[in-house]
A and B are shown apart, each in its own frame.
Chain A
Amino acid sequence: MARSKSSYLLPLGIFLALAALLFYGLTIDPKKVPSPLIGKPAPSFELESLLEPGKTISSDILKGQISLVNVWASWCPSCRQEHAELVRIARESDVQMIGFNWKDERPAALEMLRRYGNPYTLSVFDPENRVGIDWGVYGAPETFVVDAEGIIRHKQIGPIDQRVWDE
């Protein structure tokens, strides 16, 4: 079968286009699904406190200061990784850290806080994802930045480390 010499270059050409695409792919973050809640008021909630069963915490705590609402769970390995970073942030800045324990069991959650430290001013407990759904939480860890008026400004999907914090 006679073929022109240049047709033999076709596979190489296709591959190079593919490689370019994949290089581009490496620069984007596949986990960055934009949250529809950015710029909107944080959904209100009333949840049980994680540390004090029976005590209720409402979303009013979000008003009056900037808060980081960190969604985490004891079964989530990336949460363990980010925990040290959260402790550091809690120490070094005066942002209010709210722990949002999600789809978890209280004893395991408390154990994790005991072992790795508790960076949170307050912790709420949402074992059945009742509030998480309103906030659009679909995985752990996720962190929401809420301003003093209770408006969600940013949603970080995935663990926070030094790099992310600096950004």
Chain B
Amino acid sequence: MIPELGHFALIIALGLALVQAVIPLWGSFNGRRPWMEMARPLAAGQLTFLVLAFACLLQAFLTDDFSVLYVAEQSNTLLPPIYKVSALWGGHEGSLLLWVLMLGIWGAAVAAFSRNLPLPMISRVISVQGMVAIGFLLFTLLTSNPFERIFPVPQEGRDLNPLLQDPGLAIHPPMLYMGYVGFSVAFAFAIAALLGGKLDAAWARWSRPWTTVAWIFLTIGISLGSWWAYYELGWGGWWFWDPVENASFMPWLAGTALIHSLAVTEKRGAFKSWTVLLAISAFSLSLLGTFLVRSGVLTSVHAFATDPSRGTFILAFLVIVIGGSLSLYAWRAPSVSGGGRFDLVSRESFLLVNNLLLAALALLVLFGTLAPLIYEAAGWGKISVGFPWFNTMFVAISPFLVLAMGLGPSTRWKHDEPARLARLLWIPFALSLGVLALCSTGLIFPGNLSVGLGLGLSTWLVLTQLVALRERLKNKGGLKALVGDLRNRSRSFYGMWLAHIGVAVFIVGATLVSSYGSETDLRMSPGAVHEVAGYRFQFNGAQPHDGPNYRAQRGEFVIYKGERQITVLHPEKRSYLSGGMPMTEAGIDPGFLRDLYVSLGEPVGDKGDWAVRIYYKPYVRWIWLAGILMALGGLLAVSDGRYRTARKSVQVPAGGGLARA
């Protein structure tokens, strides 16, 4: 009964979405106020029914209702309750429901927090979101219904993939989806602006907080995924350029370009068509990602469902949404763009470089991800594009981005003097070159070119951000003014500052762990000791150990440095009772400056020997610390007072005229 209620709720949500997509939009063109005013209640109504549907599916999971096919596929009576919840989005159908729920949440949020926006604009925004919801709800209801029943009812579910039975991975999809779906807001704002034929600073100011919040979630989601892969997969890697990882990275790159471009449009009225195009692209890449992982076009360890018939549906949807919005762009953008001239040496220039490079990176990642498909279509045979290509490409381009990141914040808008910039920044430049030179040779410690490049670039970034901070506080009273500056309308500067520092932290972490990390595969007998990077790893054999829904072999490693015992680690090899390939649980001793990581491979022989992997991972935590810093930076920027005072200072006349922001 309850699953059917959930199903019905989805159908009602679809009906509401249909009305939501048409009436407010039409009302915005024929000026009928009651039609436009339906937008907000419709968004609220959609959310209500989507929450209802979600709750019904949740109930099915929590009560082990295996008569629902999706529950039978994803869950199991032995599954710990917290994972019964996360199993909801463990598979294709449920994750779609999560997507659509997020869409409802963002839609209702836009409806609620937009009191000072002009009614025609907000109705268009909500209508566009309704259109996206129609597509996803149709897809869910027609091809991927999570409420489908199965008869005869199985006694036991198949179980959630053991890889997903993990706190990090439980929260990873919701974070990612909040990001992907959040970009639909920026998208809707862009489409609304194109439809209305007006693209100005006010529009940019409205879009910015929404876009930044979506970006924060996506950053967190990607960092979580990387961190999870590191500790769960047992190979010590943290990024594999897997198609689904790339599917999340491309919207992130476009989204990063977008938040910068929006800043320019708001402050200087420039980059209008860039901003609109980036807003469309970020969401389009989110949709494209959805397609790639569900259609079977690419194989990946991540791929949800390899079903061409579903793929055709999504692709058709993509053509309508993306093709439609890009056509609208081609038609309307020429008339809304223009304005904001700037000189060659100006902050706009560096941000333009930023836009171009990030867009180029996104396109290259797209190309690399699709290259196997392109080759096959052209009849050039089957290839696979891996790590080396992506890494080389990325490392070749990002230094220029980092250079621009250093120059931009210290450069004036519209026009600046190269001499002034040189005067401000020659010390950071010289010091960075020095670091690059020193670390590329073996003078201080065994270094190489990539270490030199990485550390040199991070030095550049940190020092230039410090210079920008100093310049900023110089006219306000020095360091003492910092607290006051943070409290009022300048948090966006500190947000930028923190996020850029985060990038520097990332570069340090990634460079050092790549160059100085070590991986040792070896066979160890119980009692054997092996030394890696100055640590002694003693293996004490493996004992059987049972968990709530698995049986495991639990190894013990005692780690010493010198004479001092550092820690005891317990890597496991688990066989889940519901069947499936054995899972590796690594034993990790985390640290700010290094991780020690052991995992069990296979048992060898019959005397308790095991093939084990010992990893030394210096500075690997800095990679995810960087994600946290970037997210915090975004949070600081969003909490900038000017978004709130703008709300108070704008009075919307009762007559429905456009508000002047």
Contacts and interface: CB of A to CB of B under 8 A. Distances in A.
Interface of B is mostly: helix
Number of chain A interface residues as a range: 20 to 34
B299 A28 contact: no
Contacts of A74: 579
Given A15-B322, A19-B315, A19-B318, A26 B327 contact: no
B342 to A, nearest CB: 9
B312 A26 contact: yes
Contact of A33 (B277, B338, B382): B382
B374 A21 contact: yes
Contacts of A33: 382
Given A16-B323, A74-B579, A108-B579, A11 B277 contact: yes
A19 to B, nearest CB: 5
Given A25-B373, A30-B296, A75-B579, A12 B315 contact: no
A3 B271 CA distance: 12
B296 A26 contact: yes
Contact of A15 (B297, B323, B374, B581): B323
Nearest to B579: A75
Contact of B376 (A1, A12, A28, A108): A28
A92 B370 CA distance: 42
Contacts of A12: 323, 326-327, 329-330
Contacts of A77: 158
Interface string B356-382: 000000000000001001101100001
B350 interface: no
Nearest to B280: A11
Given A5-B334, A28-B376, A11 B296 contact: no
Interface string B267-297: 0001001000100110010000001000111
Interface in B296-337: 296-299, 306, 308, 311-312, 315, 318-319, 322-323, 326-327, 329-330, 333-334, 337
Interface string A123-141: 0000000000000000000
Given A21-B374, A26-B296, A75 B581 contact: yes
Contacts of A75: 579-581
Contacts of B329: 8, 11-12
Contact of A26 (B158, B281, B297, B376): B297
A27 B281 CA distance: 26
A8 B315 contact: no
A9 B319 CA distance: 15
A27 B158 CA distance: 30
Interface in B507-556: none
B297 A19 contact: no
A24 B377 contact: yes
Nearest to A11: B326
A12 B281 CA distance: 11
Interface in A1-50: 1, 3, 5, 8-9, 11-12, 15-16, 18-19, 21-28, 30-31, 33
Contacts of B277: 11
B322 A22 contact: no
Contacts of A31: 299, 306
Given A9-B330, A25-B297, A28-B376, 5 more contacts: A3-B337, A11-B329, A25-B377, A26-B312, A27-B308
Interface of B: 158, 270, 273, 277, 280-281, 284, 291, 295-299, 306, 308, 311-312, 315, 318-319, 322-323, 326-327, 329-330, 333-334, 337-338, 370, 373-374, 376-377, 382, 579-581
